[in-house]
């Protein structure tokens, strides 16, 4: 048997539905499951083409090219598509696509992203298929997610369930490195969230202990810069009333207090960069620090950069207040200040989010698949769906399962694309039929 036919046969064997599951699906739903499986090779070919176009967040031309490719795919299934330039935020832009349905059912917002973490200088640039796996830059995060979304929409169109569905899609071009100011960079996504009844995020599926998990929450991600200053002088004079503790000791006091006083459930915080001495500075990109000094000089400045992650807006506010209070209690002859930067808000777990997961588990039962428990939010990073979480209930993780994301060797599980597209197609069909 030729290799291509053998691979196709393997996919059919691994994606066939049990007879009992087929009986629980409506004729249209059964049709969607068949279409997803039949078009898997088409989906993989599209994934290869997308992956082989570098779209690192700062490669603006590459992001635009992937946007053009996605535009063509979405227009082919009946969406009205527009490109939203983001020069004002220092990024390429976003795809916003709309499908006008009956106007009676739930309005769905689908979220994914065009960019990857792999810029043109990365040595990891090419799609490589290895049986039921494939590796490449962004093959899962999030080009695999976009392909799953398209696969589900194509199946809905083939079965006739897309016709009545009101759907808006936002594919951001800077999820991995958000443009600034964030008010501009995320304005279109936030506006779409206000129009929607349900948001579905097509970033990757998480498995825990071998089980597919449902993501009803995502934690925030905020960066901070802490600067401590002190009176410089000869090291023999440190700790006396005139010269005090010096900047590095003050920075150490603050970080130690963070470690002792901040911990609470669902919070993590990290110090990622640190420097101090007679002089210290951070580069414009915030990724490099430099310092000069001597062992016999009381340091005049110390700088640390880090992040913190929370599960709710209330927790974010509380943690910031604690950090500011610790920083303000500076010791003799020193001063310190902390600056918080723009970041990703949290997607708190809500009853509405749980209701969407319950609907997905209804789909799982009818497909003959195990129920998906709630994922511990500590096991998932921040994402774009959090920008709409204050306005609309949502569910994350509808993309494929993968390993090694954000690093050379990122690998997608190809059969999971079929499973996820089937889940998404049936879930979107059912949700879009619920009255507003």
For residue 89, the model assigns a pLDDT of: 96
Contacts of 38 (CB under 8 A, 6+ apart): none
Report, as ranges of residue numbers, the positions in the chain whose pLDDT lies below 50.
none
Within a 10 A sphere around the Cβ of 109, how many other Cβ atoms? 24
Q: Which residues pair with 218 in a beta bridge?
A: 347
pLDDT score at 2: 58
Output the pLDDT for position 134.
98
What pLDDT does 332 receive?
Answer: 87
- What domains are defined for the chain? 3-218+345-432 (3.40.630.10), 222-340 (3.30.70.360)
Query: In the prediction, which pLDDT does 286 show?
Result: 84
> Are 27 and 160 spatial neighbours (Cβ–Cβ below 8 Å)?
no
Confidence (pLDDT) at 342: 84
Note the pLDDT of residue 381: 86
Distance CA 191, CA 90 (A): 20
- 116-173 confidence digits (pLDDT tens): 999 999 999 999 999 999 999 999 999 999 999 999 999 999 999 999 999 999 999 9
Asked whether 187 and 121 are in contact (CB, 8 A), the reply is: no
End-to-end CA distance of the chain: 52
Q: How far is CA 44 from CA 96, 148, 167, 334, in A?
A: 24, 10, 24, 59
Cis peptide before 41 (omega within 30 of 0): no
């Amino acid at each position: 048997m030729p290799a291509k036919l053998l691979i196709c046969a393997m996919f059919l064997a691994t994606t066939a539905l049990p007879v009992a599951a087929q009986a629980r699906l409506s004729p249209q739903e059964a049709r969607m499951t068949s279409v997803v499986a039949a078009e898997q090779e088409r989906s993989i070919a599209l994934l290869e083409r997308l992956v082989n176009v570098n779209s690192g967040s700062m490669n603006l031309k590459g992001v635009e090219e992937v946007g053009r490719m996605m535009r063509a795919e979405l227009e082919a299934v009946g969406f009205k598509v527009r490109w939203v330039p983001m020069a004002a935020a220092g990024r390429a832009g976003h795809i916003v696509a709309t499908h006008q349905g009956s106007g009676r059912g739930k309005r769905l917002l689908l979220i994914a992203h065009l960019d990857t973490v792999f810029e043109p200088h990365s040595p990891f640039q090419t799609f490589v298929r290895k049986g039921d796996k494939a590796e490449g830059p962004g093959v899962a995060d999030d080009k695999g997610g976009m392909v799953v979304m398209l696969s589900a929409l194509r199946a809905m169109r083939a079965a006739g369930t897309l016709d009545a569905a009101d759907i808006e899609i936002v594919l951001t071009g800077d999820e991995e490195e958000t443009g600034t100011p964030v008010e501009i960079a995320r304005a279109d996504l936030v506006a779409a969230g206000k129009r929607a009844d349900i948001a579905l995020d097509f970033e990757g599926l998480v498995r825990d202990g071998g089980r597919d998990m449902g993501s009803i929450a995502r934690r925030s991600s905020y960066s901070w810069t802490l600067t401590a200053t002190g009176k410089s002088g000869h090291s023999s004079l440190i700790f006396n009333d005139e010269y005090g503790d010096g900047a590095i000791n003050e920075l150490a006091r603050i970080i130690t207090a963070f470690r002792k006083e901040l911990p609470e459930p669902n919070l993590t915080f990290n110090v990622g960069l640190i420097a101090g001495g007679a002089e210290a500075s951070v580069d414009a990109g915030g990724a490099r620090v430099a310092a000069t000094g001597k062992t016999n000089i009381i340091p005049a400045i110390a700088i640390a950069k880090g992040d913190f992650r929370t599960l709710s807006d209330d927790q974010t506010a509380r943690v910031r207040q604690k950090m500011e209070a610790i920083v303000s209690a500076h010791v003799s002859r020193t001063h310190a200040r902390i600056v918080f930067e723009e970041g990703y808000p949290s997607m708190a777990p809500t009853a509405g989010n749980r209701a969407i997961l319950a609907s997905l588990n209804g789909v799982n039962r009818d497909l003959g698949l195990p129920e998906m428990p709630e994922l511990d939010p500590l096991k998932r990073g921040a994402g774009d769906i959090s920008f709409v979480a204050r306005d609309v209930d949502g569910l994350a993780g509808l993309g494929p399962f993968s390993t090694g994301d954000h690093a050379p060797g990122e690998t997608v599980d190809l059969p999971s694309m079929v499973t996820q597209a089937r889940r998404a197609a049936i879930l979107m069909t059912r949700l879009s039929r619920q009255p507003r």
